[in-house]
């Protein structure tokens, strides 16, 4: 039997008895980042493929919420900072070794690109829109003409942003639950799935919904596959990793994870979407909202559980 | 130059003098500490063994906290001492997540704080406060590159371990066992 205690007494807020330095802001930030990445990815890819006219919600409507999502996400990150007045130093330093550092820069690049994208489509929603200045009108005309040129960096940065939301966590060796390279792809796929869900909700076009529904089913299957791999990897790992996996396989996160993320957030919406493709009448909001809530809860659980896991010595 | 500490777990009595000395020397806010004493009891009575460890930032050679800091506030000073520059720290908490020893905390003023090896004393040629007050003299501070330093001497003659070496951080606090 082994017993360990602080002989000197130690009860530091948010550190003891277990780490809880990142609260609700970070999961929301990661969720919105993933969602924005998903929407921009699809908007970019369909534009590059030359199918923009067939996918109006994907290319025009859904990206309209992206700048809001990104700016609100950054605001969440700001709320999480404890030394708020010094936040600007994120942008006076370039540190490639720090995921939070380069992630902040990626956001700094992709947010203006998404704004540019939305601005170029604003006249489709407000035909009387006027940019007031001539150079802005000229610039808009250029963007509208060269959307594919904008779509390429947007797609690439969307993928980087999606992966970043996972790497932000996976770079921490000290937290065994996070310290796995599959977290990057897993968060990317999950983010794309939530992006697809938003597009499905906003689309009025039956064909577009069908395409996005199919893509979403594929993404959900990949996500489930990654989750199985995540735990397989842990169970074949060190004691710290086995302990981490056990939080979800019998431990205190088992019920919320399997109920809200795996069942209600992945399997059930996938089944509903399959039914819809087969021709059954399924209110499209149901699977889409379930995917969104599942994705949000998934990030909450990962951030919370990861902080509990640690090396024992 | 590479500063390091050797702590004799067989001489430590767990009095927590090091903790109080640090709090006084460094004006650590109430309810926080930069060092702490861990008591590990193995076995069941009457067959028990006990280990007492005064723990703090390990001033790692491969510091995950320095690596993940987005602003460069966490950095290396002379002799490998890991410091946080308060005016550069944005309080994002990444370094707290990165530390396998939970040696960092968020100071009530917002920045992240931790053991500095009492760099202000070391620069004057003194030992860190915790080392200099220890009533059993179980802690040794010095330069690993100096063959005559106390630390090198202790590590030459005694068996020692470091904490969670599997985390790959190359910690520079050594526990004599």
Tell me the pLDDT tens digit for each residue of A117-137. 999 999 888 888 888 888 888
- pLDDT for res A133: 87
Determine what percent of chain A falls in helix, strand and coil, rounding each to the nearest 5. Answer: 75, 0, 25
Q: Which residues of B touch A10 (CB under 8 A)?
A: 33, 36
β-bridge mates for residue B5, sequence order = B141, B173
Q: Is B110's CB within 8 Å of A104's CB?
A: no
C-alpha A182/C-alpha A159 separation (Å) is 15
- What are the pLDDT digits (tens) for A272-299? 999 998 988 888 899 999 999 999 999 9
Say what the alpha-carbon torsion angle A79, A84, A88, A90 is, to the nearest 10 degrees: -70
CA atoms within 13 A on the CB side of B141: 20
Q: How confident is the model at residue A98 (pLDDT cuts 50, 70, 90)?
A: very high
Question: Does B62 reach chain A within 8 Å, measured CB to CB?
Answer: no
Q: Cα–Cα distances in Å, from B45 out to A27, A88, A288?
A: 45, 57, 58
What is the sign, positive or negative, of the torsion defined by CA atoms of B65, A235, A222, A204? negative
Asked if B98 contacts B64 with a C-beta cutoff of 8 angstroms, the reply is yes
| Pairwise CA distance, residues A45 & A212, whole Å | 13
B169 within 8 A of B62, measured Cβ to Cβ: yes
* Residue in chain B nearest A6 by alpha carbon: B38
Which residues share a beta bridge with B174?
B6
Residue B18: CB partners within 8 Å, gap ≥ 6?
A: B35, B37, B54, B129, B130, B131, B133, B134, B139
DSSP state, A52? G
What's B3-176's CATH class?
alpha beta
Domains defined for chain A, CATH in brackets: 25-308 (1.20.1630.10)
DSSP string, A91-147: GS---TT-HHHHHHHHHHHHHHHHHHHHHHHHHHH-TT---SSHHHHHHHHHHHHTH
The answer to whether A128 contacts chain B (CB < 8 Å) is: no
Express each pLDDT in A52-63 by its tens digit: 999 999 999 999
Per-residue confidence (pLDDT) for residue B112, from 0 to 100: 96
Is B65 in a helix, a strand, or coil? helix
Chain B touched by A14 (CB under 8 Å): yes
- Per-residue pLDDT, A30: 97
Q: How many CA atoms lie within 13 A of B127 on its CB side?
A: 19
Put simply, the answer to whether A81 touches B92 (Cβ < 8 Å) is yes
Q: What is the pLDDT of residues A163-197, one digit of tens each?
A: 999 999 999 999 999 999 999 999 999 999 999 99
Neighbours of A88 (CB within 10 A): 9
How sure is the predictor about A198, in pLDDT bands with cuts at 50, 70 and 90?
very high
Which of A63, A88, A71 is CA-nearest to residue A28?
Answer: A71
Give the sheet arrangement for strand B139-143, strand by strand. B139-143, B3-8, B173-176, B160-161
pLDDT at position A284: 87
Q: What is the mean pLDDT of chain A?
A: 94
Tell which B residues from 26 to 45 touch A, by Cβ distance under 8 Å.
31-33, 36-44
Check B70 against A310: CB less than 8 A apart: no
- Using the 8-state DSSP alphabet, how is residue A16 labeled? S
Q: What is the average per-residue pLDDT within A88-101?
A: 91
Average pLDDT over residues A134-154: 90
Question: Which parts of B24-161 are beta strand (E)?
Answer: 36-44, 47-55, 74-76, 82-84, 105-106, 112-113, 139-143, 160-161
- Per-10-residue mean pLDDT of chain B, 177 residues long, equals 96 96 96 95 93 96 96 96 96 96 95 97 96 96 95 95 94 96
Contact criterion met (CB below 8 Å) for B154 and B138: no
A96 and B CB contact within 8 Å:
no
Cα atoms found within 13 Å of the Cα of residue A143, Cβ hemisphere only: 20
């Amino acid at each position: 039997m082994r017993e360990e205690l602080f002989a000197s007494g130690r009860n530091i807020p948010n550190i003891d008895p277990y780490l809880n330095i990142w609260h609700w802001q970070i999961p929301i930030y990661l969720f919105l980042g993933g969602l924005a990445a998903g929407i921009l990815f699809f908007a970019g890819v369909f534009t590059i493929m030359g199918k923009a006219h067939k996918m109006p919600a994907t290319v025009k409507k859904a990206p309209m919420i992206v700048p809001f999502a990104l700016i609100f996400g950054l605001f969440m990150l700001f709320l999480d900072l404890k030394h708020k007045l010094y936040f600007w130093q994120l942008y006076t330093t370039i540190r490639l070794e720090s995921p939070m550092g380069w992630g902040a820069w990626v956001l700094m690049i992709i947010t203006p690109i998404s704004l540019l994208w939305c601005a170029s489509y604003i006249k489709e929603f407000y035909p009387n829109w006027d940019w007031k200045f001539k150079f802005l009108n000229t610039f808009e005309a250029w963007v509208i003409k060269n959307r594919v040129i904008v779509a390429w960096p947007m797609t690439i940065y969307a993928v980087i942003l999606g992966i970043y939301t996972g790497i932000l966590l996976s770079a921490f060796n000290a937290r065994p639950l996070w310290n796995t390279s599959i977290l990057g792809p897993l968060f990317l796929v999950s983010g794309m799935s939530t992006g697809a869900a938003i597009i499905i909700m906003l689309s009025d076009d039956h064909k577009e919904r069908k395409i996005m529904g199919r893509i979403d089913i594929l993404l959900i299957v990949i996500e489930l596959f990654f989750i199985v791999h995540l735990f397989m990897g842990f169970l074949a790992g060190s004691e710290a990793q086995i302990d981490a996996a056990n939080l979800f396989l019998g431990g205190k996160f088992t019920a919320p994870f399997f109920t809200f993320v795996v069942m209600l957030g992945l399997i059930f919406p996938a089944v509903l979407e399959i039914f819809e493709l087969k021709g059954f009448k399924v209110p499209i909001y149901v699977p889409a909202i379930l995917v969104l809530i599942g994705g949000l809860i998934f990030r909450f659980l990962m951030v919370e559980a990861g902080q509990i896991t640690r090396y024992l010595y | 130059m590479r500063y390091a500490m050797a702590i004799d777990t067989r001489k430590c009595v767990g009095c927590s003098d090091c903790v109080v000395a640090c709090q006084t020397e460094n004006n650590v806010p109430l309810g926080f500490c930069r060092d702490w004493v861990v008591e590990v009891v193995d076995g069941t009575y009457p067959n028990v063994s006990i280990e007492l460890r005064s723990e703090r930032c390990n001033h790692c050679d491969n510091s995950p906290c320095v690596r993940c800091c987005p602003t460069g506030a966490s950095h290396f000073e002379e002799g490998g001492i890991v410091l946080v520059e308060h005016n550069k720290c944005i309080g994002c908490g990444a370094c707290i997540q990165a530390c396998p020893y939970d040696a960092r905390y968020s100071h009530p003023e917002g920045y992240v704080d931790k053991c500095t090896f009492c760099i202000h004393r070391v620069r004057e040629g003194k030992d860190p406060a915790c080392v200099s007050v220890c009533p059993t003299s179980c802690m040794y501070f010095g330069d690993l590159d100096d063959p005559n330093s106390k630390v090198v001497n202790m590590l030459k003659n005694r068996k020692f371990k470091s904490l969670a070496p599997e985390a790959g951080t190359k910690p520079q606090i050594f526990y004599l066992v």
